[in-house]
Structure 1
Amino acid sequence: MDFAKRIGAARRESIFNPDPQHIYVWCGTCVHGGDGRYYLYYSFWPRELGFSGWVIHSQIGVAAGDSPTGPFEPVGMAVPASGRGWDADCTHNPTAHIFDGRYYIYYMGNHGNGEYWNHRNNQRIGVAVSDSPTGPFERFDAPLIDVTPGGCDALMTSNPSVARMADGRYIMVYKAVGLTGALPQGGPVVCAVAFADSPIGPFVKCPDPIFSNPEHSWSVEDPFIWRENGRLYALVKDFQGYFTHSARNCVALFESDDGVNWRAGDAPLAFERTIRWDDGKAQQVHNLERPQLLIEGGVPIALYCVCAPYDDYRESFNISFAITG
């Protein structure tokens, strides 16, 4: 698969940040609701707290639109910080699915003492479930994916991505950070995989990491997995450009037959940090990441990414692209 050739040009109407003067927006993910509308779930936090404020103050909202590539308008909160327990202070990294008519938002939550690294290292993965795209969403008192002492995810878990496999099981690929690297960062930063018979788990982890760069401890993050034409595929941010054979922080394409053994695609560079606009212009940006796909009829129809155009993070927005082929 040459994923790069499937990405259409972006429309200006596909930019989403409903209040750019006052909030940062990150992490867009979309479902097609039973009412015919499209629902975009997104992370946001106050600009006055700075870009790194996501780790303590992010929450997940929901917007709606009549097209998979927008425009979208906010319609409420989806998964706010719970105020208690493991996800008391922050909800982030949503990835949304509809399984058997119910809406599932997998997300990262954390709690802490108000210090960046404390909250960062308390990240865990959870799920919220509803019969409606706008909620209310049922929460759980414990994480869906907690850390495993001695494992590749011994320090923290985040960036969940879930797909239903051909045999009916559910696969989750997620960001894992171990404890062999120096604290507070820890490391290595890799991805891990787990399987379950139900979308709410329990998920059984495989012990070994996937997408691991043998040349650098910071390998990958932000996976998105899907099933197409009998095979599993993944889009993953490649920190070092090791898999894409390109610049740092581009997005790589992987493929797998079983979800455990992954290989870089024949065309491993899924996309670079460049937006092609429908007026023919191309814009190089500082961040174009957190890829998510909307799947309909077994094929992707839209790609959602977050964009920070500048290295000082003065601006951020979600952006969507039509997918062809």
Structure 2
Amino acid sequence: MHIALGKLPMTARFADDSLSIWCGSLIKGDDGLFHMFYSTWPKRMGWAWVTHSVIKHAVSSSPFGPFAFRDVVLPVRGAQFWDGLCTHNPTIHRFGEKYYLYYMGNTGDGINPNTEDLAVEKLNFVHRNNQRIGVAVADSPDGPWTRFDKPIIDVAADSTAADALVVTNPAIVQRPDGTFLMIYKAVGKKRPLPFGGPVVHLAATSESPTGPFVKHDGEIFTVHGVDFPAEDPYVWFQNNQYFALLKSMRDSAGANNPSLVLYNSPDGITWRRCDKSPVSDRTIQWQDGRSQTFLHLERPQLLFEGDTPYVLVCAADTLDVHGVRQTFSVQIPILVSVPK
């Protein structure tokens, strides 16, 4: 399979003057509207995703916008809950008659170290290292959403496991036999704390979209000698094989030059890269003829027509004249070529 990006309509940028917007995910409802689930937090706080992100919901009559805010889906609910202070990384799916919103949640001390120094991006490692994977369930994209008291993917009890410190960034697909495959990002404890590492991807399977999930041995999307090779996979099944669109952290020469790349797999467990060339090098084309290169173009999510993806949703950002990061969602038309 080869994926090429089309030109973006001028409406295909979802932004807010006072809020940082990140990692949108789209689905079409029975009401004919397109429902976007996205992460957001006050822009004045800087890069506060790990402490102050909440997941919200916006709607549009077109996948290319404009989108209008509708409601807060997964708000703060108290530090005593595993996902009580932060919800992030939404990916929305419909299985059967219900909607499933998978996400990362965490808790901690609620302190954002960026508040006093927006020029320096700092992590709150209490929150970062409490990242876990959960799901909320509803009969409609408009909710109400049922949250659970425990994550569906938790860290391993074995301190030597690849996911002993952090589990996050869920991606899920229903397999042809009706069961479910989840691919997720994980951080181990083999490198010095608090960052830990390596940062890897693992697979888990379940009979149900809400688990329990059985973890599989073996890391995927690996690059020899690289501790953090990739993140943000989106996984789907098409033409009797699995595909994953993800963010590669390094280019073919090994330089730190993130891009979006495509992998495929016969079973969802063993993966190989499809093309040497990336799907995107963070540059997009607008319909008015402008070309724009973002600092980041990541957290890819797809919208399908039948079995074929036709919209790529990504988180993107730029710096304004004051050096403040401006973040938003872009909805990119995609062209798909499937070899016979």
Letter of the structure 1 residue corresponding to residue 319 of structure 2: Y
* One of 312, 326, 338 as aligned partner of 1:315: 326
1:124 aligns with 2:122: no
With 307-316 and 267-276 compared, the bigger mean Cα shift is at 307-316
Unaligned runs of 5+ in 2: 112-123
1:35 equivalent in structure 2 = 31
| Contact 1:285–1:310 (CA under 8 A) maintained in structure 2 | no
Does residue 270 of the first structure (1) align with residue 279 of the second (2)?
A: yes
Map of 1:165 onto structure 2: 175
Q: CA deviation at 1:166?
A: 1.1
Instruction: Name which of structure 1's ranges 306-315 and 294-303 shifts more when overlaid on structure 2.
Output: 306-315
Q: Partner residue of 1:283?
A: 292
Aligned to 1:144: 152
Q: Which residue of 1 aligns with 2:262?
A: 253
Q: What is the CA distance between 1:267 and its match in structure 2?
A: 4.6
In structure 2, give the amino acid aligned to 1:72. Answer: F
Amino acid at match of 1:9: K
Separation of aligned partners in 1, 2:324 and 2:180: 36
- Map of 1:11 onto structure 2: 9
SS in 1 for 2:25: strand
Instruction: Say yes or no: does 1:219 pair with 2:219.
Output: no
Show the counterpart of 1:99: 95
Offset of residue 266 of structure 1: 3.1
CA contact (8 A) 1:190 1:219 kept: yes
Q: TM-score, normalised by structure 2?
A: 0.90
Seq. identity, %:
43
* Match of residue 201 from structure 1: 211
Which is further off, 23-32 or 245-254? 245-254
Stretches of structure 1 that go unaligned for 5 or more consecutive residues are: none
- How much is the aligned-residue C-alpha RMSD, in angstroms? 1.6
> Quick one: which of 62, 74, 81 aligns to 2:76?
81
Contact 1:253 1:268 in 2 (8 A): no
Question: For residue 92 of structure 1, what is the amino acid of its counterpart?
Answer: H
* AA aligned opposite 2:218: D
Query: Which amino acid in 2 is paired with 1:141?
Result: D
1:2 matched to which residue of 2? 2
- The one-character-per-residue Cα deviations of 1:257-285 (angstroms, maximum 9, x if unpaired) are 10110001135512111111112221111
In 2, Cα distance between equivalents of 1:158 and 1:55: 11
3-state SS in 2 of match to 1:233: strand
Which protein has the bigger helix share?
Answer: 1
Picking from 322, 328, 335, the partner of 1:324 is: 335
Q: Secondary structure at the match of 1:119?
A: helix
How many aligned positions are there?
Answer: 319
State the distance in 2 between where 1:24 and 1:102 align: 29
TM-score scaled to structure 1, two decimals?
0.94
Distance in 2 separating the partners of 1:171 and 1:310: 37
Q: Deviations over 1:6-48 (max 9, x none)?
A: x21112201001x22x110001000110111110000000112
> Does the C-alpha gap of structure 1 residues 25 and 292 become closer, same or farther in structure 2, counting only changes over 3 Å?
same
Matched, 1:293 2:289: no
Q: Which stretch of the first structure deviates more once superposed, 147-156 or 311-320?
A: 311-320
